[in-house]
Amino acid sequence: MNVVLDDRLLIEELLVGIRRPGAQLHTTAYWYYRACRTAILGAGGHLSGPFRELQPHEQVRAIGAMLELPEEIGLPDTRQLVPLMVEIAGRYPKLNLLNLEAVAAARALAATMWLSPEAANGVLPAVLDDELLAWEIVIPH
């Protein structure tokens, strides 16, 4: 089963693990960027919370994990996603780039989207429903 992780769940996977048996994890370039930016710059908010809770030596390890995304976590090819993003934008012209990429990734991979509670409160679930794409809320530890 292919799964697309949002940025918060990507952080959770890299710090403590949320993988389920049979799940092939993926994320998007935008979500990966946001997770790395949070790890390095500590922008605050729900994304940086897991890093603030770590001891200094654990923070160094966590930042290293963010900057070297394991091969087991897929990143869909932009060449495949951009045409889908353009198509999806035609149906949802106000959808931002982050959400366009996420929907395109879920569609390209025939994946279930795992959303953190914060992401599930946004516009993405309604668009995923409209596009007949599976999603579920996964609560980080």
CATH 3.50.50.60 fits 2-137, yes or no: no
Is the distance from CB of 84 to CB of 107 less than 8 angstroms?
Answer: yes
In the predicted model, is pLDDT for residue 63 greater than 90? no
Q: Specify the residue for token string 């999603």.
A: 135
From the centroid of its chain, how far is CA 11? 9
What is the share, in percent, of the chain residues with pLDDT greater than 90?
A: 62
Domain ranges for the chain, please list them. Answer: 2-137
Q: What is the mean pLDDT of the chain?
A: 88
Is the distance from CB of 29 to CB of 10 less than 8 angstroms?
Answer: no
| pLDDT tens track for 7-55 | 989 988 887 788 789 999 999 999 998 888 877 665 555 555 666 666 6
Query: Could you give the C-alpha distances from 20 to 9, 39, 116, in angstroms and in order?
Result: 13, 24, 16
